[in-house]
Amino acid sequence: MSYEFAWLDYRNSVAAGAGDYLKKIACTGFEIASEADKNILFSAEQELMRAAKEINGQQSTVLKDEVTSEGISVVLSDAPGLKTGGFKIMITGPKITIEASDASGILYGVFRAITLIRTGKTSDGQIAESPASPIRMLDHWDNPDGSIERGYSGRSFFFKNDHLYVDDRTREYARLVASVGINAVAINNVNVNDIATGLVSGYDRKELTEIAKIFGDYGIKLYISLNFASPMSLGATDTADPLDSKVAQWWKEAADGLYRDIPELGGFLVKADSEGRPGPFSYDRTHADGANMLARALAPHNGLLIWRCFVYNCQQDWRDHTMDRARACYDNFIGLDGQFDDNVILQIKNGPMDFQVREPVSPLFGGLKKTNMMVEFQIAQEYTGQQRDICYLIPMFKQVLDFKTYNGDGEGVLCDIVTGKGSKQTCGMVAVSNTGDDPNWTGHDLAGANLYGFGRLAFNPALTSEEIADEWSRLTFCNDDTVADGVTKMLMMSWPTYEKYTSPLGIGWMISPGHHYGPDIEGYEFSPWGTYHRSDRNGLGVERGKTGTKMIDQYNEPVRSLYESIETCPDELVLFFHRLSYDHVLKSGKTVIEHIYDSHFEGVQDVNEMIGIWRSLADKVDGVRFGRVNDRLDGQLMNAREWRDRINTYYYRHSGVPDKQGRKIY
């Protein structure tokens, strides 16, 4: 399928005079680089040439080791004070100098400079930036048959017909994500099927090597998701017991073979003992036993083993009120703190449940003290509108990063843990990717802001959500204030709006089983998945405090007390932590039932407001993209109404409380 260039279409959005900078491009110091780095430097040069050609309509040549008084000068040297990937940009009159001490820093500096030029931010001054998270990763849930688990933008561009697939788009993808600083990508689903299991032992090795090479040209390390039981599934052993020497030896040989072909491989990503996947529990071994065995196969090659903490019982009995899925992640891992090898990183979902529109932060971040951690976000909008409804997730991610863990390490916010400011430096941020082979990469055009924003945020968490939205809009649509303001407004209201018309006050779920789009209030209520709201005529919610499942005890003080007391627990999470009656008065002054009605009516109004904003931009956004977004907004309005009417009716029927304002409830 054909593809567009998203925010890298240099023909869009060019500030007046921008092209002048690109008439002269000079690169200095590139010859000292290693072979792998030379490829990254080459990508940087190519990028400048491409910008020059698309913006000026004519080719530029790259001057080597020349000092120029105007244009762009790129200098690879021992610039002090910059971390790997860091860069400095100095602007003086007609000259922009980009300086870095490693090849990826040059590449990121070049992309940044092009953004500044395109958005007209070229007044005299200096910027110095180094990436905050060492690992800035995207996880693709792509399957060999080309389908994508929780994919909402077409089919996979990594796989087709049970094979890896490499074409121009592979490079365009690498370019796109490298432009926002992504440096690690896992290309296959964590639910690894039989075919993908073969990737570790030679299946499609040629294509795998090619992908790794293309990624390498853009400073990206390739990761493979693996099946914990691979040696068994491939018929080499009759067990996958991590303490069995045959199993460990098999993995060692598999890793040696992979690194022989792909010396730059990042490592492995593993989902084990989760939702039916095999894992060490089958052999009475711990997750540390399982992870360390794999990590030791990778260690001689400096590979990393990323181990997911999404481990819970999905065969729960809904009748049993003592079990609580929200406890599972912490309960499964807290006892293993300090037992993981140095090249193991635990990948922890941002919340204790599963990427809901509102969840508290996973207490595991505040619990582990001696373990490498990454936070896992989901920009694939599984539970947040599936790229049919707009939901700009960057404000949510920023709240998570700003959460104070009180774990006694570093300055105390979650961001410190994942950016190496605490005692552990092997860390990072990862997002489940929202891309597919749709021409615009992300299905909904505005979902591109989540892909762009995640990368920018992982690189520089100090950016505001508004800054990211504004910049993305200018690069994607046009460098126009009215468009940027309108798009930023829509994006900024979209997460609160989505929250208003879906499940209330942090309780989550209530989605259609299986595909997870649209409301089905009791869809998971009597299921084994552990996601209950237990609504009845008296109220709703699962009590997770002292009189309930005690999940709140997993937080450090003072967070624990804050959540335990209904008086201090923030309204937006109060039904996550507590069971409340419909007439309970929230901190907002409204009762629970009034909040449910009001927020659902408001949610639909907000969608109408977004539609109004978008339509006001009709003559400023190109017709194709204007129409695509317009159509999706119509669908979003229908979805919002459906949620509003089902939720309001359900709770009116359960509570018997009429709406004070006499609005229509069915």
Q: Please give the structure tokens belonging to residue 334.
A: 């807290």
Nearest residue relative to ligand GCW (C-beta)? 354
Min CB(139)–ligand GCW separation in Å: 9
**DSSP structure class, residue 57:** S
Query: CB burial class (10 A; 0-12, 13-18, 19+) of residue 656?
Result: exposed
Give the Cα-Cα-Cα angle 336, 420, 464 (nearest 5 degrees): 120
* Distance from C-alpha of 266 to C-alpha of 224, rounded to nearest angstrom: 8
Helix ranges restricted to H, 218-286 = 230-233, 245-261
* Distance from C-alpha of 540 to C-alpha of 358, rounded to nearest angstrom: 17
Find the binder of ligand GCW among 70, 145, 149, 244 (CB under 6 A): 149
Find the binder of ligand GCW among 27, 40, 190, 311 (CB under 6 A): 190
**DSSP structure class, residue 300:** G
Segment 310 to 329, residues that bind ligand GCW, using CB under 6 A: 310
309 binds ligand GCW (CB under 6 A): no
Q: 191 vs 407, which CB is nearer to ligand GCW?
A: 191
Q: 310 vs 563, which CB is nearer to ligand GCW?
A: 310
Q: Checking DSSP bridges between strand 87-92 and strand 125-129, what pairing results, if any?
A: antiparallel
The catalytically annotated residue of 9, 31, 275, 622 is 275
Give the Cα-Cα-Cα angle 394, 399, 404 (nearest 5 degrees): 150
Is 471 designated active site?
Answer: no
Q: 225 vs 442, which CB is nearer to ligand GCW?
A: 225
Min CB(137)–ligand GCW separation in Å: 14
141 binds ligand GCW (CB under 6 A): yes
Is 382 designated active site?
Answer: yes
SS3 content of the chain, % helix, strand, coil (to 5): 40, 15, 45
Measured over the CA atoms of residue 478, residue 480, residue 484 and residue 486, the dihedral's sign is negative
Min CB(516)–ligand GCW separation in Å: 7
77 close to 29: Cβ distance less than 8 angstroms = yes
Segment 217 to 276, residues that bind ligand GCW, using CB under 6 A: 271
301 binds ligand GCW (CB under 6 A): no
* Distance from C-alpha of 417 to C-alpha of 402, rounded to nearest angstrom: 11
* Distance from C-alpha of 576 to C-alpha of 592, rounded to nearest angstrom: 13
Min CB(186)–ligand GCW separation in Å: 11
Segment 448 to 477, residues that bind ligand GCW, using CB under 6 A: none
Alpha-carbon 447 to chain mean position = 12
7 binds ligand GCW (CB under 6 A): no
320: Cβ contacts below 8 Å, ≥ 6 apart: none
**DSSP structure class, residue 382:** T
Alpha-carbon 110 to chain mean position = 24
Q: Site size for ligand GCW, by CB under 6 A? A: 10
Q: Please give the structure tokens belonging to residue 324.
A: 């609580």
Min CB(272)–ligand GCW separation in Å: 11
576: Cβ contacts below 8 Å, ≥ 6 apart: 326, 358, 359, 360, 505, 506, 507, 508, 541, 544
Min CB(563)–ligand GCW separation in Å: 23
Segment 333 to 392, residues that bind ligand GCW, using CB under 6 A: 354-355, 382
Measured over the CA atoms of residue 60, residue 66, residue 68 and residue 71, the dihedral's sign is positive
Min CB(586)–ligand GCW separation in Å: 29
Q: 149 vs 466, which CB is nearer to ligand GCW?
A: 149
Q: 188 vs 591, which CB is nearer to ligand GCW?
A: 188
Find the binder of ligand GCW among 88, 150, 444, 579 (CB under 6 A): 150
Radius of gyration over alpha carbons of the chain, in Å? 25
Q: 112 vs 308, which CB is nearer to ligand GCW?
A: 308
199 close to 234: Cβ distance less than 8 angstroms = no
- The residue behind tokens 């959460």 is 403
Q: 310 vs 333, which CB is nearer to ligand GCW?
A: 310
Q: Please give the structure tokens belonging to residue 448.
A: 């591109």
* Distance from C-alpha of 621 to C-alpha of 480, rounded to nearest angstrom: 10
Min CB(573)–ligand GCW separation in Å: 20
Q: 88 vs 150, which CB is nearer to ligand GCW?
A: 150
Min CB(492)–ligand GCW separation in Å: 26
* Distance from C-alpha of 375 to C-alpha of 303, rounded to nearest angstrom: 19
Segment 547 to 606, residues that bind ligand GCW, using CB under 6 A: none
Min CB(513)–ligand GCW separation in Å: 11
Distance from the first to the final alpha carbon of the chain = 45
Of 99, 173, 85, 82, which is closest to residue 133 (Cα–Cα)? 85
Beta strands in 191-266 (DSSP E): 221-226
Is 642 designated active site?
Answer: no
- The residue behind tokens 């481990």 is 311
Q: 369 vs 515, which CB is nearer to ligand GCW?
A: 515
The catalytically annotated residue of 45, 47, 142, 382 is 382
Min CB(386)–ligand GCW separation in Å: 12
Segment 70 to 109, residues that bind ligand GCW, using CB under 6 A: none
Q: 340 vs 383, which CB is nearer to ligand GCW?
A: 383
The catalytically annotated residue of 129, 172, 217, 354 is 354
74 close to 101: Cβ distance less than 8 angstroms = no
191 binds ligand GCW (CB under 6 A): yes
Q: 141 vs 228, which CB is nearer to ligand GCW?
A: 141
Active-site residue list: 275, 354, 382
Residues of this chain that bind ligand GCW (CB under 6 A): 141, 149-150, 190-191, 271, 310, 354-355, 382
